Amino acid sequence: MTQRVKLAVVGAGLIGKRHIQHVLTESSAQLSAVVDPTPVGATIAKEAGVKWFTSFADMIAADRPDGIIVATPNQTHVQNGLEAVEAGVPALIEKPIADDILSGETLIAAAEAKGVPLLTGHHRRHNPVMHKAKEIIESGKLGRVLVVNAMFWLFKPDDYFDISWRRERGAGPVFLNLIHDVDNLRYLFGDVAAVQARESNAVRGNAVEETAVILIEFKNGVLGTATVSDAVVAPWSWEMTSGENPAYPKTEQSCYMIGGTHGSLAVPSLEVWRNPGKRSWWEPFDQTRIEVDHVDPLVLQIRQFCKVIRGDEPPLVSGREGLETLRAVDAVKRSAATGERIELN
């Protein structure tokens, strides 16, 4: 039997706790430590039966893991990542890989220079639904894909904004939520060539957007729209349609519509619509729903991280991939601020 990979979790907040629980139950991994300077971190480490450290440096000096999962606040992702790179320890860093492009480039360059694997925690790419959607697109069943429409529509209750940073710049749904959808679209269609965006805060009047509309041009010629709002009551978001997180009610809807010359695909329902004979708006449709096994993508992400650490396969979502998704979302924010179409180099 292959020896289990020793993983430490840095950060014991909401997502850190989920990572800790999954590592504890994963047969290919072993939780070695929790790194968090707060009393909550100490309590969680004690409950998990592992060592507790207040800093990465203290942990490395006492008990070097095979890899770390970084689940700290966004502003410290680069610092934690650089500590891991310096120590030669592979790191899975929660999204976003950095809170600005320049520091993200610094981190990626350091990791590549030392040959230390970095992974970005865009866990939805690990979802079997996404893998099947990509397989359907690449099979040619839809013909030439021309257009995609992505939606993130839901209502965040008033008390969500009682926490002050959620009302401040950088905390709107574009950075917090749409970044996941942009990463999903990049996984399905490749790199983004250009974006143009508009934003509104007409309902709450906070410093952050609550609604945004984005035009996306992909390098392969696919054109897309993405609309995001956390101020509408609606069932069309990944949270409400995928069943990925049990905290959200699941609807039998979809949030991505993908159109091709021979058929269309709804995601995550994986409904394929085609004309059985002649392609025409007069013809009836053949509707097929593709079934997949549902597995928590956070679990699959940890398993893949263990394989990367062992050298069995490359990262599904590398640090550089995470940086490219961040670059696309940064372009969306710049376009919304200037009103201009922003090209990505």
Which CATH number covers residue 194? 3.30.360.10
Sequence-separated (6 or more) residues with CB below 8 Å from residue 308: 90, 117, 119, 314, 315
Sequence-separated (6 or more) residues with CB below 8 Å from residue 10: 16, 35, 36, 56, 68, 69, 70, 71, 72, 80
pLDDT confidence of residue 344: 95
187 and 287 together in one domain? yes
Mean pLDDT, rounded, of the chain? 95
- Is 23 a domain residue? yes
Distance of alpha carbon 58 from alpha carbon 155, whole angstroms: 42
φ, ψ of residue 258 in degrees (nearest 5): -120, 125
43 and 85 together in one domain? yes
- 152 with 183: CB under 8 angstroms? no
74: helix, strand or coil: helix
Range of the domain at 235: 125-294+327-343
188 and 250 together in one domain? yes
Q: Which two tokens stand for residue 209?
A: 């957007």
Task: Look at the chain and report how many structural domains it folds into.
Answer: 2
pLDDT at 247 over 90: no
pLDDT confidence of residue 1: 53
195 and 336 together in one domain? yes
214 and 333 together in one domain? yes
Q: What is the pLDDT of residues 132-171, one digit of tens each?
A: 999 999 999 999 999 999 999 999 999 999 888 888 887 8
- Is 304 a domain residue? no
Read off the CATH number of the domain in which 103 is found.
3.40.50.720
23 and 100 together in one domain? yes
What letter would DSSP give residue 155?
B
pLDDT at 83 over 90: yes
pLDDT at 14 over 90: no
65: helix, strand or coil: coil
Q: Point out the domain boundary residue: 116, 140, 170.
A: 116
